[in-house]
């Protein structure tokens, strides 16, 4: 018995050592440091961007450096199967206000902090999670990038910091700083002039204006009632008929899709529209479908001409402004109409033109000729105009 002990002791110590090494590896395997350099991916991506994929990924999502202009990079999350022939879309950015250059670095250190530094070493962005117990980083199947502790609790998550996009399961609080803000343009990821916030549980769209932002869409106007909830508003997916139909919703905004649409996102576009894109991971080609457009050219309720950028101080793209809408200096077309003041939080104190199409809390509308004003609308103190469809 005594003679066999020395043989067992080394085996026991070897087992303990390997167990310890495995535990250390499980914690340290997610630590990384990557430099923004080398060849770009050959696969196509949104905004005609070039990108370099990084080691953090999950399902159809992956962290990457990407740029739409030379030497000006975003650290973002890409959505789309890596080897697919379909487009990859960008659903989150860490550094919208501060692009980085070639040779910038992203690193996840032993202190548990995810840091983005420019080529000269200047820290541009971080998760602020140093020495808070973070042991790992991953991107979940729903696109949420999380930093977690040894108990699996999320100490930081990208879902808490939306940019211009909401993924399924992501929320906006009823009150607070979190909101969607559009890109400035397809080639400029910096914050644009349009924003989506939640008031009393309902989505409201704003455009930057002086002295304060102006509401140009409030969903309560479409339906005549408000949700009046105090909790956050979530972009949701569900199948009410046992996987026969699929529905996406964001408050009162809803759309039905033809197939499982859990890989969808809601986006505020650079021109102020609200759209939903759905990705079908079962196909390799043309996997994306635009399943919802708020300002649809084929819809009388919210025609494309009601975008804030179509009229008045925000610019008129084409067609004529509705009677009573503010016009740029020298702009012709449309007589001054009798005005009514809007009620409720959507347009407190704002003036709305008196046309039927403007009963839905839309400010600064611009109609196409076939919808210039509604039939038999009273203007100029009682004179009657007729539609010129």
Is 52 within a domain?
A: yes
Question: Which one has a higher pLDDT value, 331 or 263?
Answer: 263
Judged against a pLDDT cut of 80, whether residue 12 lies above it is answered with no
**Are residue 168 and residue 239 in the same domain, yes or no?**
yes
Q: What's the structural domain count of the chain?
A: 2
| pLDDT, average across residues 58-70 | 96
Do the Cβ atoms of 389 and 340 come closer than 8 Å?
no
CA atoms within 13 A on the CB side of 20: 6
pLDDT at 302: 59
**Strand pairing report for 253-257 and 288-293:** unpaired
Closest residue by Cα to residue 153 from 109, 112, 125: 112
pLDDT band, residue 366 (cuts 50/70/90): very low
pLDDT at 7: 46
pLDDT at 152: 96
Is 105 within a domain?
A: yes
| pLDDT, average across residues 43-57 | 95
pLDDT band, residue 210 (cuts 50/70/90): confident
Alpha-carbon distance 285 to 118, whole Å? 36
**Are residue 71 and residue 186 in the same domain, yes or no?**
no
Alpha-carbon distance 296 to 301, whole Å? 9
Closest residue by Cα to residue 262 from 164, 173, 141: 141
pLDDT at 307: 67
| pLDDT, average across residues 198-222 | 81
Question: Which one has a higher pLDDT value, 86 or 334?
Answer: 86
| pLDDT, average across residues 301-307 | 58
**Are residue 119 and residue 46 in the same domain, yes or no?**
yes
**Are residue 120 and residue 169 in the same domain, yes or no?**
no
pLDDT at 222: 59
294, 309, 325 - which closes a domain: 294
Is 261 within a domain?
A: yes
229, 264, 294 - which closes a domain: 294
Is 72 within a domain?
A: yes
Is 362 within a domain?
A: no
101, 128, 161 - which closes a domain: 161
pLDDT band, residue 233 (cuts 50/70/90): confident
Taking only the tens place, the pLDDT of each residue in 108-135 is: 999 999 999 999 999 999 999 999 999 9
Full domain range(s) for residue 240: 162-294
Q: Which range has the worst mean pLDDT, 26-30, 47-51, 65-69, 329-333?
A: 329-333
Is 375 within a domain?
A: no
CA atoms within 13 A on the CB side of 206: 20
pLDDT at 159: 96
Is 62 within a domain?
A: yes
Considering the entire predicted model, what is its pTM?
Answer: 0.74
**Are residue 156 and residue 205 in the same domain, yes or no?**
no
pLDDT at 255: 85
**Are residue 265 and residue 170 in the same domain, yes or no?**
yes
pLDDT band, residue 304 (cuts 50/70/90): low
- Edge-to-edge strand list for the sheet holding 274-279: 165-167, 264-268, 274-279, 288-293
Alpha-carbon distance 197 to 175, whole Å? 8
Read off the DSSP letter of residue 300: S
pLDDT at 118: 98
**Are residue 102 and residue 213 in the same domain, yes or no?**
no
Read off the DSSP letter of residue 48: G
- DSSP reduced 3-state for 19: helix
Question: Which one has a higher pLDDT value, 368 or 186?
Answer: 186
Read off the DSSP letter of residue 208: -
Closest residue by Cα to residue 71 from 50, 98, 100: 100
Judged against a pLDDT cut of 80, whether residue 55 lies above it is answered with yes
**Are residue 116 and residue 194 in the same domain, yes or no?**
no
Taking only the tens place, the pLDDT of each residue in 71-91 is: 999 999 999 998 788 999 999
pLDDT at 253: 80
pLDDT at 301: 54
pLDDT at 332: 39
Question: Which one has a higher pLDDT value, 125 or 254?
Answer: 125
Judged against a pLDDT cut of 50, whether residue 361 lies above it is answered with no
pLDDT at 283: 87
**Are residue 62 and residue 88 in the same domain, yes or no?**
yes
- Residue 48's domain is classified under what CATH number? 2.90.10.10
Is 382 within a domain?
A: no
Judged against a pLDDT cut of 90, whether residue 211 lies above it is answered with no
Alpha-carbon distance 238 to 95, whole Å? 32
Question: Which one has a higher pLDDT value, 199 or 279?
Answer: 279
**Are residue 184 and residue 125 in the same domain, yes or no?**
no
Question: Which one has a higher pLDDT value, 49 or 327?
Answer: 49
**Are residue 172 and residue 290 in the same domain, yes or no?**
yes
pLDDT at 360: 32
**Are residue 153 and residue 190 in the same domain, yes or no?**
no
pLDDT at 119: 98
């Amino acid at each position: 018995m005594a003679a066999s002990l020395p043989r067992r002791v080394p085996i026991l110590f070897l087992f303990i050592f390997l167990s310890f090494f495995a535990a250390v590896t499980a914690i340290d395997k997610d630590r990384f440091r990557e430099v923004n350099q080398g060849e770009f991916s050959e696969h196509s991506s949104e905004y005609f961007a070039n990108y370099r994929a990084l080691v953090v990924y999950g399902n159809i999502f992956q962290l990457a450096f990407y740029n739409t202009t030379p030497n000006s990079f975003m650290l973002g999350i890409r959505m789309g199967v890596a080897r697919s022939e379909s487009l990859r879309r960008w659903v989150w950015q860490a550094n919208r206000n501060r692009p980085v250059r070639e040779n910038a670095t992203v690193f996840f250190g032993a202190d548990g902090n995810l840091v983005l530094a420019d080529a000269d070493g200047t820290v541009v962005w971080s998760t602020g999670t140093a020495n808070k117990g973070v042991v790992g980083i991953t991107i979940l199947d729903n696109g949420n990038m999380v930093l977690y502790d040894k108990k699996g609790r999320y100490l930081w998550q990208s879902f808490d910091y939306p940019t211009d996009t909401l993924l399924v399961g992501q929320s906006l609080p009823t009150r607070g700083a979190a909101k969607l803000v559009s890109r400035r343009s397809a080639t400029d990821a910096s914050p644009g002039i349009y924003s989506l916030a939640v008031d009393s549980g309902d989505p409201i769209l704003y455009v930057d204006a002086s002295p304060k932002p102006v509401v140009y869409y409030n969903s309560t106007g479409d339906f005549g009632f408000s949700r009046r909830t105090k909790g956050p508003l979530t972009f949701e997916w569900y199948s009410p008929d046992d996987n026969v139909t699929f529905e996406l919703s964001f408050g009162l905004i809803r759309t039905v899709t033809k197939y499982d649409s859990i890989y969808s996102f809601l986006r505020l576009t650079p021109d102020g529209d609200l759209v939903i894109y759905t990705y079908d991971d079962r196909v390799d080609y043309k996997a994306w479908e635009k399943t919802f457009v708020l300002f649809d050219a084929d819809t009388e309720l919210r025609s494309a001409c009601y975008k804030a950028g179509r009229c008045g101080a925000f610019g008129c793209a084409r067609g004529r402004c509705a009677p009573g809408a503010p016009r740029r200096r020298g702009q012709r077309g449309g007589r001054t109409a009798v005005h009514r003041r809007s009620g409720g939080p959507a347009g407190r104190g704002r003036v709305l033109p008196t046309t039927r199409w403007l009963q839905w809390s839309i400010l600064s509308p611009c109609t196409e000729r076939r919808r210039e004003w509604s039939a038999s609308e009273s203007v100029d103190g009682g004179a009657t105009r007729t539609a010129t469809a």
